[in-house]
Structure 1
Amino acid sequence: MKRFLALIVLFYCFSFLGFSQSKFVIQNKTQSDKIKFKLINNLIVLPVEVNGVNLSFLLDTGVSKPIIFNFLNVSDTLKIRDTETIHLRGLGNGETVEALRSRNNVFKIGEAVKLKQDLYAVFNSNLNFGLKLGVPVHGIIGLDIFKDFIVEINYSSKYLKLTIPKKFKYKKCKKCERFNLEFYNGKPYIYAEVNLGKKNIPVKLLIDSGGSDALWLFEDDSLGIRAGDKFFNDFLGHGLSGSVYGKRSKVKTFSLKSFVLKNANVAFPDSTSVLLAKKIKDRNGSLSGNILKRFNIIFDYQKAILKLKKNNHFKEKFSYNKSGIELEHDGVRLVKEIDKNRLRNNDIPLVDNGTQNSTKIIIDPEYKISLKPAYTIVELREGSPAEESGLKIGDVILSINNKQAHEYSLQEIVEMFYDDAGKRMKLKIDRNGLVSTFYFQLQKLF
């Protein structure tokens, strides 16, 4: 009731001030605000308040309306209303997914507020990105932010700056490149160029900040877009309609005007997984986080402008998972630990005076049981070093190279799998209560 009354007060305050309720507004004199974000696996995770509840959302230029994932009890916690059941389809070769559409929700991002926001609650237990990133992620948001503001994404300093368009002024920048955007269903597209073999090929790409890969291309023999001879089959990710698989390879160069990236990662998703995406006229693929993070970016949807400037990530080498393991943060497990801060009352240190009767310090450590994150193997690339060592889907990792797994974040473990080829890995795992140890080496595939 208190939250409901607070929303009523907020509603009348905004009505009195004459703010539009159907779009985001910023509640300060500068009409601009900075929001810090986390950059995890090339993805932007930012704080979003929904109906008074603090949540974390992925910033995804590839979505039209905010989506809340079903692991959050949306009906009780968010008090969403004005609902109807619909079905959505996205990437993946599965069926459509059931979702609950809700209107008139209050969204707040920093000092930007919108009083009448639609959202979709998706009923699919597989769409829990928090498990894959190792941090809570409750939903995704995109178009509703970009259409109301000039959005500056500073990947190097990890902040988002939102500015009302009429208050924004472009600065001169000799080291920047400016692009014209095209839109389809509110999603931005950009033209670039890839070199596959000896051929430069112009491509039209969806800008997809919600994807962690570098580049996806749709194979098309008529255009010369194909994986070639050097590739490996792999799991590429999860879409609304299921898992996506395909080929991983490299492009010789990827060019955004004067900005040229060499040996960039590329994935060629199976045609069945991107059937819907390929229906969009002239679309050749997606440009995602592992390339976007190499620039500081200005999105201006109203003028259809994108501005790029290289940042300190630009020269980072493109790598890939050389183990074949995909992990998830799969709840918690009980861990027995020594509690070094607790001593028995009678263990009092005395000075050793050199006699036979002298008393020495005796520390009898006690143990405590703690809840620690559990990391579970959810995908294994066929023929990969991890699979050939005997590891299986469902194995829970207990330690890596003699260090307890829970002492790492999920991202730190994943980064180990992207290390140099030849690195030795020792994994102790729990398989249905049986503890075993497996050894393998990271393997170069190109």
Structure 2
Amino acid sequence: MLLPWFLNMFPLDRSWCSRSLLGLLLLGPLGWAQPMPFRLVSRSAHRVRSHFELQRNLIILSAKLNGTGPYNFLLDTGVGTSILTDPGLRETLNLRAGQRFRVLGAGNEAALEAFQTDSVRVELPGIVGAHVSFLVLSEDVLNLSGYVGTPIHGILGYDLFRSFVVSINPAELSIVFADPAHYRPPRGKRWANLPLDLEGNKAYITLPVSLRDSLTLPLKLILDTGAGHALSLETSSDPRLSIPPQRLRTQLGRGLSGFINGYLGRVAAVQLGRYRLKTLLTSFPDADNVALRAEVPRNGNIGFELLKRFDLVINYPHNYLLLRPNELFREPFEHDMCGFDLLATGPDYRRYVVLRVQPDSPAALAGLRPDDEIVYVNLLPISSLTLTQVSRIFHSANGRQILLVVRRASGDLYTTTVRLKRQI
């Protein structure tokens, strides 16, 4: 599960406090002047529609940079400055290195170096950004490609959302970028209209969250399409927030400075206008893993595992969010029922290696170990499946038995059966 990670950035020559980054997450521009970065290519067009990939609850768009590519980017409302996570693009695109920063984020490893570059030309279907600024990471520490199972080169966010009204149809995998001056909102009673507060170049939404039947709180949440989970709450943000008694201790994701630990639990319900979603799977990161806070107070974030259940209209220029339930609305919120983390590797990201095994989980009971490579799932070559499809198998049904053929790090083959178990 991809959790937003938080960072502070400091120029190498003086102390400078920034805002934050992803779910990946960067809050706010780095301080240089930014005109409206994107426009429609056709001066007579008022909108452009295109398709996207949805992998592990993350929106992936293809774009050209300086006439080369295409490259794959996550579309993330949690990002205030465009990011290049692939450091190899610096040489490929002949990027000018501007001010350098030390980037410190969630986790407990050393700070990471990054630099700012500007005037990158970005082209998406029907859209162009002639002079877009990027933050370029010195190392691909997040390994988004391995997490998603397809090459990922960076993240686009606030620059696109402030330039257009963005409509997303997750069930049809389509997205529309509309000129705000000519946009007309859809009509119909099924659309819920929720106000957005834009602070520090991020969108916040305040929602009633029923932590349990007897306690409902209005919580200020970051609208975060770049977070693969449904909901994340920071218990240090309000003394009334607590981790549910029924919970699962686990790694929640990876930050710039290491892995983020915490708990998974469930909240009773979240109210989005007229729509109520119940028994939401919720992340509760450890307080010391998210101690580097953004300057805007908030209680957590709402991610795409929840948002994908709606058709969305994200309107930064007019500060509102429209929601209409789609065919995914009634899907249950489920966690991995096997108890291991897989990493996609190989030239086509179709080799799947066990990264971590949770103690006493079905995977541990089946004898799986870190560095095992899954070769077959129920006699089907796993290389024929995307990582998203593989993930769905291990989220599928409590009690389901799955036959695995595994290649050990030594090269030996091992056959085992995993019985899935709902752990939370």
Q: 1:177–1:184: structure 2 CA closer, same or farther, 3 Å change rule?
A: same
Question: Do the aligned residues in 2 keep the contact of 1:22 with 1:116 (CA within 8 Å)?
Answer: no
Please list, as runs of the form range in 1=range in 2, the aligned pairs for 1:146-165 lying within 5 A after superposition.
Answer: 146-165=161-180
Corresponding residue for residue 288 of structure 1: 303
Question: Do the aligned residues in 1 keep the contact of 2:36 with 2:163 (CA within 8 Å)?
Answer: no
The DSSP-based 3-state class of the residue aligned with 1:237 is: strand
| Amino acid in structure 1 at the alignment position of 2:73 | F
Corresponding residue for residue 17 of structure 2: none
Question: Do the aligned residues in 2 keep the contact of 1:82 with 1:104 (CA within 8 Å)?
Answer: no
Out of 241, 253, 266, the residue aligned to residue 237 of structure 1 is 253
Task: State the Cα distance separating 1:407 from its structure 2 match.
Answer: 2.2
| Amino acid in structure 1 at the alignment position of 2:421 | Q
Gaps of 5+ in 1: 1-19, 333-370
The answer to whether residue 209 in structure 2 is matched with residue 194 in structure 1 is yes
Q: 1:372–1:171: structure 2 CA closer, same or farther, 3 Å change rule?
A: closer
Question: Do the aligned residues in 2 keep the contact of 1:150 with 1:168 (CA within 8 Å)?
Answer: yes
Task: State the Cα distance separating 1:37 from its structure 2 match.
Answer: 0.4
The answer to whether residue 77 in structure 2 is matched with residue 99 in structure 1 is no
Out of 269, 273, 280, the residue aligned to residue 257 of structure 1 is 273
Corresponding residue for residue 398 of structure 1: 375
Corresponding residue for residue 262 of structure 2: 246
Corresponding residue for residue 27 of structure 1: 41
The 2-side partners of 1:21 and 1:192 are apart by: 32
| Amino acid in structure 1 at the alignment position of 2:101 | I
- Describe the superposition over 1:75-112 as per-residue Cα deviations: whole angstroms up to 9, x where unpaired: 33222225342222344343332113211110112221
Q: TM-score, normalised by structure 2?
A: 0.86
The 1-side partners of 2:183 and 2:268 are apart by: 38
Q: 1:169–1:96: structure 2 CA closer, same or farther, 3 Å change rule?
A: same
Question: Do the aligned residues in 1 keep the contact of 2:335 with 2:423 (CA within 8 Å)?
Answer: no
Corresponding residue for residue 155 of structure 2: 140
The DSSP-based 3-state class of the residue aligned with 2:235 is: coil
The DSSP-based 3-state class of the residue aligned with 1:386 is: helix
Q: After the TM superposition, which of the residue ranges 188-197 and 219-228 deviates more from structure 2?
A: 219-228
The 1-side partners of 2:47 and 2:224 are apart by: 24
Corresponding residue for residue 426 of structure 1: 403
Q: TM-score, normalised by structure 1?
A: 0.82
The 2-side partners of 1:65 and 1:372 are apart by: 27
| Amino acid in structure 2 at the alignment position of 1:233 | R
Gaps of 5+ in 2: 1-33
The 2-side partners of 1:242 and 1:261 are apart by: 32
Please list, as runs of the form range in 1=range in 2, the aligned pairs for 1:294-373 lying within 5 A after superposition.
Answer: 294-331=309-346, 373=350
Out of 29, 42, 55, the residue aligned to residue 71 of structure 2 is 55
Out of 379, 384, 399, the residue aligned to residue 356 of structure 2 is 379
The DSSP-based 3-state class of the residue aligned with 1:173 is: coil
The 1-side partners of 2:383 and 2:325 are apart by: 35
Question: Do the aligned residues in 2 keep the contact of 1:51 with 1:79 (CA within 8 Å)?
Answer: no
Corresponding residue for residue 391 of structure 2: 414
Number of residue pairs aligned between Structure 1 and Structure 2: 387
Please list, as runs of the form range in 1=range in 2, the aligned pairs for 1:161-180 lying within 5 A after superposition.
Answer: 161-180=176-195
The DSSP-based 3-state class of the residue aligned with 2:98 is: strand
State the structure with more CA Rg: 1
Task: State the Cα distance separating 1:197 from its structure 2 match.
Answer: 2.1
Task: Select the structure with the greater relative contact order (CA < 8 A; seq sep ≥ 6).
Answer: 2
Q: 1:90–1:188: structure 2 CA closer, same or farther, 3 Å change rule?
A: farther
Question: Do the aligned residues in 2 keep the contact of 1:254 with 1:262 (CA within 8 Å)?
Answer: yes
The DSSP-based 3-state class of the residue aligned with 1:414 is: helix
Q: CA RMSD in A?
A: 2.0
Corresponding residue for residue 443 of structure 1: 421
- Describe the superposition over 1:183-223 as per-residue Cα deviations: whole angstroms up to 9, x where unpaired: 23201100112212221121110011101100001125954
Out of 78, 93, 103, the residue aligned to residue 88 of structure 1 is 103
Task: State the Cα distance separating 1:300 from its structure 2 match.
Answer: 1.6
The 2-side partners of 1:256 and 1:372 are apart by: 37
Task: State the Cα distance separating 1:236 from its structure 2 match.
Answer: 1.3
